[in-house]
Amino acid sequence: MNFPLPPAAITSAVAARTLEELAWDNGFGRLPPRFYTKLAPTTIPDPYLVGFSTAAAELIGLDHAQARRPEFVAAFAGNHALAGIDPLAAVYSGHQFGVYVPQLGDGRAILLGAVAGTDGRAWELQLKGAGKTPYSRMGDGRAVLRSSIREFLGSEAMHGLGIPTTRALTVIGADEPVFREAVETAAIVTRMSPSFVRFGSFEFFYWRNEHHELRELADYVIDTFYRACRDEPQPYLALLAEVTRRTARLIAQWQGVGFCHGVMNSDNMSILGLTIDYGPFQFMDGFNAAHICNHSDEHGRYAHNMQPQIGHWNLYCLGQALIPLTGDVEATQAVLETYKHEFAQAMGELFHAKLGLATSRDGDEALIERLVVLLDQDRVDWTIFWRALSRLQVEAKSPQDDAALRDLFIDRAAFDGWAAGYRARLRGEASVDGGRAARMNRINPKYVLRNHLAEIAIRKARGDDGARDFGEVDRLLRLLQRPFDEQPEFDSYAAAPPDWAGNLHLSCSS
């Protein structure tokens, strides 16, 4: 997605900038003070570099060598203010686990400003874990190394999969103790996004009856990111329609790779349709349609199979907040109902591509549904199955030809029945094995950021076995930037998870 810069922020692209050559702007900071509090990050003692994404750095033309400078670590730990930054913490509210919370905001994140990218896009840079703000409530404003590594890798892994997401430039660690369920050490992750405005940003002003500020925010979003909406007869309805479309297609992509967000509160939903706020997320191993990845989600509100419904629910929260601007309840509801069609269409397109089907025909929906039920019943590894399916041959001589696939299932006879129907469907469109396999492998990844892979990198970075080792963080980062490619040296990273992976628990504590 291409988000153009506000005219005032356009600068000439520089191929390899130093820290001092980054051209900062802060369009959001030009909104009135009601939208944020301006403050500097809290310094942290003896910071050190844990991870650095060269791909993210290239978005803003930052020279890779800058990461080796002490000034880089100091700047993105919040210890040194780069010239031109205008740091602030934004205010917002939102529905958390279905309950409206009147004031939230950046409780541990501080926006430094935006940098003009090499392709004309503006990227806001935000330090997560940068210390207390007026919106920290009872929190300490810090993030821990564990969650910061997960967000860093998760953001870049999602981009590698082609799924809209915020990005992550770097992780900086420090030995400052942070008290969670246990004593951990602090870290700061630098997040990048065209904007960090979320559904809850609009809810904040709606529920306070501050309709002037609500309009200012909507106008800022339209004029900066959705300029085509300005030319529509009803710009605010057009804005809602575009956010609805993007959100529906985003969540379809999540479902396609077995991604569980974990905390789909309305304040964790991006107005740009990006994956945002990586908390207790997970890429599923064995497929469980009702999987709950967040240990804090006692009632399963954000289970995997609930994500499409919750996305729609959150859009209703946004739609309600925009009614003072749209002025038409029925028209707003009609826009929101387009979510169902957009999501269904996106899922249909996605599953056809995952199955290597070049056409759409009657009976396809039933074929897909039967497969999903089988995968769910037998807890088949989601990523391994789809990759292995590309090797199925249309003309099989015996069930043994499918041995690698059949052995993923407990009920092999049920799989044989489904495979017979799938083969018949492939023959119906004269599918060619080699071409189909190539297409499938471009959409079904071989590698995802499995929980146990992230956990190994975290344990090494913490130095659980002795000295700190950040090599695994970098190794995973490089691997996950090309998740669809055969990378033989990393074949072990595509294997089924070890037994101990089932004992890993994720929660909102970070």
- Please give the full DSSP string across 465-489, using - where no structure is assigned: TSS---HHHHHHHHHHTSTTS--GG
In the numeric block, the tokens 């309600």 are attached to: 320
Q: Which residues are marked as active site?
A: 267
Token representation of residue 376: 């769910």
pLDDT at 7 over 90: no
How many C-beta atoms surround the C-beta of residue 98 within 10 A? Answer: 11
Higher-scoring residue by pLDDT: 396, 222: 222
- Per-residue pLDDT, 14: 46
pLDDT confidence tier of residue 396, bands split at 50, 70 and 90: confident
- Per-residue pLDDT, 2: 35
Report the predicted TM-score, pTM, of the whole model to 2 decimal places.
Answer: 0.95
| Three-point CA angle 104, 110, 111, nearest 5° | 110
Residue 165 C-alpha from the chain's centroid:
4
Closest CA to 421 of 370, 461, 384, 497: 370
- Per-residue pLDDT, 509: 66
- Per-residue pLDDT, 362: 96
pLDDT at 5 over 50: no
Q: Where are the domains of the chain?
A: 7-196, 355-440, 453-503
